[in-house]
Each structure stands twice: as structure tokens, then as C-alpha cells.
């Protein structure tokens, strides 16, 4: 009874075979004693892997920010100038002597007053007589030297007590307040970034082409045959192609004024330079000098000067005779000269001596009584620090490769169906032992045929069909190729 069940089960597995095939069909390479069936041959597919672009290649502009360096510089606050230092000239007091005249009764020696000279006066020495009582010359003729005294006059004159000079007045430098813009930070650029606009597009990718398969339908109710098996209908049913929806982002672009940069849009924005206001004193008129004349100072002195120098004249005195006793010249009259030093007067005056060390006489004009020295006043600076652009901002373009996704599709290589006759195990060769071997072989290969009960039950059939499909074997029968694959002998 078990053997009968096994045979019926094998016969039931022939649902995929053409049970109503005509015996007159030519079977290639047929062998006597062998059984054949037109079995369902699975479509042969090959798996192809294809890279589908999901996102197109693009570029990204990477912003390299501007580099700044801190710079300190000296800023002019006040221009360099000079200062005129002024000190009075050095003077010395000098006492000067002048010839005032001769003592009363004296006259200049040589007729002229000379400093260090002498004044002279002539003193008459009368002649010496003796008395002679004879007719003799009473008085010899002689001469008398009369002194004509010098005539003097008092003269008042102005003498320089202090010579004329000039006073140099310092005119200080004039400054004007200047305001200017000082660069604090140089102009630069800033890269603004915003995401690019994308839109999502879907695309249907064929993963399996359309195919056909044979499907056993129920018997036609209008069939007249009493045996339903005579009315089994095999229908060739189309299996639609299988598709996979692939969604990808497609770049739309950037707004006006923006530039593509990979996933982003960029725009260069100018950053104006930064300035600060500083105020400083600028030299308008350099320091100078102005001279004011200081008139000489005079004082009046009175001195006696010779108007007519003293002189002498000789007066002839005739001789005198008498008959009486006369005086006889014993020693003729003469003169004696006395000398006296010239009378000197003096007055005190101030005389310019010079300038102190390091000073020079002010010669900027008609002269000056002051001494000046120019002292340089250095320019005044202040330090300011600001950021100076060392390297301007720039961009670097980085290539962004396209993004792909791997799509695996099955491509039909050979169309199957009920197209080929295959050698099958004849029903009388399918024993309980054979069924057990089939069940054990399926189980060892990871398929679940149910319990090893030597029965070709539903679970064993399902496992056998799955094995055949997984290994690209003819489906629906115990064909020789399947038995060899399972390693089962019969």
C-alpha cells in the first residue's frame, strides 16, 4: 500500500509536466526503457549589477578665509619743528680814558693833547743885573719871551654808553589741528554660502524582465469526459517585468548672483575697509625770529679841549743907556720849562663781549643783541595697531564625485517554459528507499522535507521544488538531473 502511495505522490508531482503530451512527439536522444516528460524549464537568468547615478558629479568651492596680521605703526601726532632759545649776549664793562686837558697855566707839549703826553708851562727867569758906575750900557737890548696861553673851550659831546643792538623775538611755530581717516582694517571679501536647490526625481529601473510561466488550471466545467484528468488545462501566463523605483536628487541650480559650488551656492560679498578718525597737530608755520632794533644809549660828558694851543712870542727890548749908574746885565733873562701830565678824564661803557658756548649771534637781519640757539623738537608719534590683510580670501574648488547606487537586476538569458523533454525517473523506480534518500539529501542541504517517513508528502514536494528552483533545475518532476544533483541513486 505504501508503494502505491509513493507512486501516486510522484504522479502528482507531474503537475508541471505536459501529461497530455502526444506520444508522437519527437524526443531527442530517447533511450528505450526510459521515461520522459515535458517539464517546466525555469527561465535562465543572469544577475547583472549596474551602477545607477543617484547624484551627478559636482564641485564644491571651499572658502579659504583671508589671513590678517597684526601690524603696529607709528602715526604722526605732531610734525617735527625747532625751538629758538634766546639768551642775552654777554657784555663787559670797559672804562675808557680820554684827554681832558692841561692844568691851568699849562699848554700841551708839542701843541697837541696826547693821551699820556705832558703839558708844559714856561716860567720867565728875569735877567740878573749888577750896578756899574760908568757910562755904560744901562740895559742891554734884550728880548722878552711872552707866553701866549692856550685857549680852551668846554665841549659837551655824546658818547656811547651802550652800543646799538637788536633784540630777536621768537615767533613760535603755528600748528593747525588736522583730522584724517586712518586705516584700521583693510578691505576684504566674505564668502556667503547657501544650499543649492534640488528636486527629487524618481526613475523606474527594471530589475526583472517580463516572462511567462505555465499554470495548471482547473478542468473546464463543460468538459464531457468523465475523467477530470483528461480536461486539465495548462495556461501560459505572462509574468510582468519587475521594477524598482530609484529616487535621486537632481540639482536645479542657484539664484541670480550666486555661483554653483558643489552642494552649495556661494556669493562673494565685499567687506569695506574699516577706518578710524585721528586728530593731530600739523605744522602750519615753522618757528621763526623777528628782530627789534634797540637804539644805542648815549650819555653827555663835558670836557675841555684846546681851542688855540699855547705859544710864545719874542718881544724885542732895546738896550738902555744912561750916564748914571746902571745895572749891567749879568745874566740874561731866560725861561724855565715845567711839565705836568695831561689831565685825563674817564667814562664807563658797556661793550659786547660775545655769546655763551653753544649760542650764536643772531644775524637774521640787521643784527641783534641776543644770542640764539636752535633746538630741534622731534616729531611726536603715537603707536596704533590694526589688522592688515596678509592674504586675501580665496576659494578652492573641490571635486565632488557623483554618487551611485548599486542596482542588481536579473537578465533573462534563456526563456524557459514547457519547451524541453527531460528524462525522468520512471514510476516503478520510485521506492520508499528512494523517497527516504531524497528526504535525507534535501535535509542535508538545508531544506525541510518534513519527517523522514518515506512518503512524498506536501512538505517533501515543496522542499524538492524549492531545491530545483534554487539550483536552476527542471521543476516539477523527479528528473534524472535532479537526482544526480541530490546524489541519490535509484
Q: Which residue has the higher pLDDT, 306 or 470?
A: 470
432-444 vs 2-12: helix crossing angle, rounded to 10: 60
95 in any annotated domain: no
Residues 273-313: tens digit of each pLDDT: 888 888 878 877 887 877 788 888 888 877 777 777 777 77
Domain tally for the chain? 1
Q: How far is CA 293 from the centre of its chain?
A: 59
484 in any annotated domain: yes
The CA-based angle 150-153-156, given to 5 degrees, is: 150
pLDDT value at position 444? 94
Residues 57-68: tens digit of each pLDDT: 777 777 788 788
Residue with cell 536552476: 472
Which phi and psi (to 5°) does residue 267 adopt?
A: -145, 135
150 in any annotated domain: no
Pick from 441, 434, 474: nearest CA to 456 = 434
Look up the domain containing 432 and give its range. Answer: 1-42+416-490
171 in any annotated domain: no
373 in any annotated domain: no
Judged against a pLDDT cut of 90, whether residue 2 lies above it is answered with no
| CA atoms of 442 and 461, how far apart (whole Å) | 11
Sign of the four-CA dihedral 470, 475, 476, 482: negative
Of 4-13, 53-62, 338-347, 406-415, least confident by mean pLDDT is 4-13
Q: Is residue 442 packed enough to be buried (19+ CB in 10 Å), middle (13-18) or exposed (0-12)?
A: buried
Judged against a pLDDT cut of 70, whether residue 120 lies above it is answered with yes
Residues 49-97: tens digit of each pLDDT: 888 777 777 777 777 887 888 888 787 777 788 777 887 877 778 777 7
Cut 0.85: pTM above it: no
386 in any annotated domain: no
Residue 397 half-sphere exposure, CB side, CA atoms within 13 Å? 8
483 in any annotated domain: yes
In total, the chain counts a number of residues equal to: 490
Amino acid at each position: 500500500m505504501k508503494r502505491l502511495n509513493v507512486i501516486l505522490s510522484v504522479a502528482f508531482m507531474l503537475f508541471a509536466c505536459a501529461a497530455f503530451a502526444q506520444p508522437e512527439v519527437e524526443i531527442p536522444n530517447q533511450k528505450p526503457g526510459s521515461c520522459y516528460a515535458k517539464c517546466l524549464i525555469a527561465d535562465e537568468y543572469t544577475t547583472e549589477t549596474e551602477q545607477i547615478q543617484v547624484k551627478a558629479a559636482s564641485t564644491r568651492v571651499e572658502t579659504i578665509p583671508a589671513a590678517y596680521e597684526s601690524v603696529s605703526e607709528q602715526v604722526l601726532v605732531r610734525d617735527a619743528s625747532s625751538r629758538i632759545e634766546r639768551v642775552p649776549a654777554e657784555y663787559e664793562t670797559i672804562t675808557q680814558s680820554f684827554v681832558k686837558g692841561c692844568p691851568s697855566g699849562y699848554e700841551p707839549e708839542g701843541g697837541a693833547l696826547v693821551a699820556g703826553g705832558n703839558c708844559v708851562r714856561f716860567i720867565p727867569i728875569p735877567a740878573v743885573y749888577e750896578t756899574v758906575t760908568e757910562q755904560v750900557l744901562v740895559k742891554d737890548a734884550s728880548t722878552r719871551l711872552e707866553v701866549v696861553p692856550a685857549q680852551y673851550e668846554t665841549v659837551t659831546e655824546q658818547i656811547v654808553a651802550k652800543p646799538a643792538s637788536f633784540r630777536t623775538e621768537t615767533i613760535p611755530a603755528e600748528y593747525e589741528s588736522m583730522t584724517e581717516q586712518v586705516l584700521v582694517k583693510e578691505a576684504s571679501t566674505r564668502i556667503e554660502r547657501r544650499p543649492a536647490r534640488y528636486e527629487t526625481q524618481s526613475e523606474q529601473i527594471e530589475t526583472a524582465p517580463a516572462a511567462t510561466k505555465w499554470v495548471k488550471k482547473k478542468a473546464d466545467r463543460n468538459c464531457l469526459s468523465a475523467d477530470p484528468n483528461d480536461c486539465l488545462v495548462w495556461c501560459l501566463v505572462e509574468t510582468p517585468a519587475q521594477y524598482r523605483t530609484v529616487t535621486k536628487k537632481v540639482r536645479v541650480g542657484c539664484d541670480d548672483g550666486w555661483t554653483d559650488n558643489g552642494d552649495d551656492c556661494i556669493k562673494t560679498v565685499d567687506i569695506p575697509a574699516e577706518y578710524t578718525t585721528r586728530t593731530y597737530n600739523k605744522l602750519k608755520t615753522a618757528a621763526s625770529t623777528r628782530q627789534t632794533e634797540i637804539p644805542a644809549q648815549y650819555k653827555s660828558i663835558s670836557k675841555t679841549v684846546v681851542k688855540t694851543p699855547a705859544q710864545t712870542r719874542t718881544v724885542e727890548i732895546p738896550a738902555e743907556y744912561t750916564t748914571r749908574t746902571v745895572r749891567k746885565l749879568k745874566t740874561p733873562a731866560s725861561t724855565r720849562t715845567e711839565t705836568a701830565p695831561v689831565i685825563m678824564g674817564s667814562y664807563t661803557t658797556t661793550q659786547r663781549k660775545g655769546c655763551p658756548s653753544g649760542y650764536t649771534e643772531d644775524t637774521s637781519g640787521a643784527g641783534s643783541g641776543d644770542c640764539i640757539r636752535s633746538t630741534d623738537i622731534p616729531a611726536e608719534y603715537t603707536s596704533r595697531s590694526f589688522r592688515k590683510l596678509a592674504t586675501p580670501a580665496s576659494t578652492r574648488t573641490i571635486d565632488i564625485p557623483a554618487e551611485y547606487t548599486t542596482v542588481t537586476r536579473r537578465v533573462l538569458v534563456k526563456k524557459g517554459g514547457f519547451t524541453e523533454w527531460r528524462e525522468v525517473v520512471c514510476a516503478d523506480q520510485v521506492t520508499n528507499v528512494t523517497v527516504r534518500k531524497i528526504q535525507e539529501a534535501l535535509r542535508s542541504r538545508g531544506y525541510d522535507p518534513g519527517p523522514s517517513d518515506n512518503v512524498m508528502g506536501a512538505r517533501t514536494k515543496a522542499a524538492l521544488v524549492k531545491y530545483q528552483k534554487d539550483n536552476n533545475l527542471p521543476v516539477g518532476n523527479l528528473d534524472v538531473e535532479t537526482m544526480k544533483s541530490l546524489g541519490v541513486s535509484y
